[in-house]
Chains A and B, each alone.
Chain A
Amino acid sequence: MRQKISVNVNGVPRENEVEPRLLLVQYLRESLNLTGTHIGCDTGQCGACTVLLDGQAVKSCMVLAVQANGAQVRTVESLASGDAYHPVQQAFWDLHGLQCGFCTPGFLMATVSLLQRNPNPTDAEIREQLEGNLCRCTGYQNIVAAVRSAAEKMRAAPAASPTPMPAGAGGE
């Protein structure tokens, strides 16, 4: 039986009726048309579907949409402010922290969460904290460099590095 859920996604309150078995990632992609969140392995290994649920990075293929009822969800669509990339996005761009880009939305959200927990991680901590995300193209060297660079920039200018949540960000 479909159930009504209310979820705040990227600052926008949403109300939908969903089947209990609907996964959060499918709710975001198919009910809300927020296709920036990717489905990779669909078995909780790869982290491509990582979003922030009440501020913490989670794998949205391992969360039911009904479990997000009443919660705040942030997806990759919320990171940029207009034409200005979030510092984490900019660092991945500048340092080529990607090749095909499929895993990137998950890496970006996991990195945002990582830098909230630890604004000044060592390279070892970056690798350990991103172990829930897999890149199959190009290895992790540039990803680690991008995270390190984003951390430096965000520490240097915290006020200029908001975690924006513009109304109506992305979707539909």
Chain B
Amino acid sequence: MFAKDFSYAAPASLAEALALLQSQPEGEVKLVAGGQSLIPLLKLRMTEIGALVDVSKIPELHGITDDGDGVVIGAATTYFQAVNSPLVQKRCPLVIQAVSQVGDPQVRARGTIGGSLAHADPAGDLPAVALAVDAELRATGPSGSRSIPATAFFVDLMTTALQPAEVLTAVRFHATDAPHAGTAYVKHRHPASGYAIVGVAAAVWLNDDGTCRAAHVGITGAGTHATRAAGVEQALTGKRLDDATLTAACANAADGLDLMSDPYASGEYRAHLTRVLAKRALAQAAATAAQR
């Protein structure tokens, strides 16, 4: 299959990429890094563009650094690079738990952290992770750089808060290697595509007495975009995370979701999976937190 013809440029700097973005009519240009989502869409002609700007070789979009209580991952970092980073392994286990379940090894060799988040596929794994650990998405545009909290980033189906002339440069994931903190990502995987029918990322912080200080729950796959389950989180704060408490809180995990329905999974089934997987993810995260 061939995409509609387009022009291609692989700029060597962020400034050059920004200039290229501005030189094209809005909607005619797309950024690509690994291309594992975009290239199939172009081939199927579900998306047609005039120009493709390849940001994968821009040095400013690479690198993994520790900034104290978080890890900053360059947007063009591949899944493989993130999974193999000792820093990410130690400080952001949730990223590892989710990324090692993305697609297959060939996809993980090419696909990127920033690409997945900017693409905002409703069934992508990383959006749930970004929400659960309060990730900060850093973007640079013609008028400078800004930081977007994950909770304000995923706006609608494949739609983010990024402006057309902005480039996502890095993502800062809050570290969860503190004492009494635990995370888990639990996913019901589509058997053919590997995408999440529903995926739930949970991060739990416990008090010294074992009660829940804070719980964050990010849900992907169920609705048109990834969301936090605020109701579940509030119901858990201050409580002991035993089976009955988790069951009761997660009964509301699908409330307020803009549920999707397709031939593989109805909206009702997605809601059911959301409740079941939220409980599993929280139970795993709480068990890890209790041991740390």
Contact = CB atoms under 8 A, between A and B. Distances in A.
Interface of A: 1, 3, 19-23, 42-45, 47, 50, 53, 56-59, 61-64, 66-67, 69, 110, 113-114, 129, 131-133
A66 B8 contact: yes
B56 interface: yes
Nearest to B39: A62
Contacts of B223: none
Given A45-B193, A62-B35, A62-B39, A57 B109 contact: yes
A50 B106 contact: yes
A132 B39 contact: no
B8 A64 contact: yes
A132 B105 contact: yes
Which 7 pairs from chain A and chain B are nearest by CB? A132-B104, A20-B8, A56-B109, A132-B106, A21-B3, A59-B106, A131-B104
Nearest to A26: B2
A59 B105 contact: no
B244 interface: no
B106 A58 contact: yes
Contacts of A44: 36, 39-40, 107
B106 A42 contact: no
Contacts of A23: 2, 39, 43
Contacts of A19: 5
B interface residue count range (under 10 / 10 to 19 / 20 to 34 / 35 or more): 20 to 34
B8 A113 contact: no
Contact of B36 (A42, A62, A66, A114): A62
Contacts of B44: 43
Interface string B47-69: 00000101010000000000000
A64 B7 CA distance: 12
Nearest to B193: A45
Nearest to A45: B192
Contact of B105 (A20, A53, A110): A110
A140 to B, nearest CB: 14
B8 A3 contact: yes
Contacts of A1: 7
B194 to A, nearest CB: 8
A113 B107 CA distance: 13
Contact of B40 (A22, A62, A113): A62
B14 interface: no
Contacts of A133: 104
Nearest to A131: B104
A2 to B, nearest CB: 10
B10 interface: yes
A59 B43 CA distance: 14
B103 interface: yes
A133 B192 CA distance: 11
B4 interface: yes
Interface string B1-45: 111111110100000000000000000000010011001101110
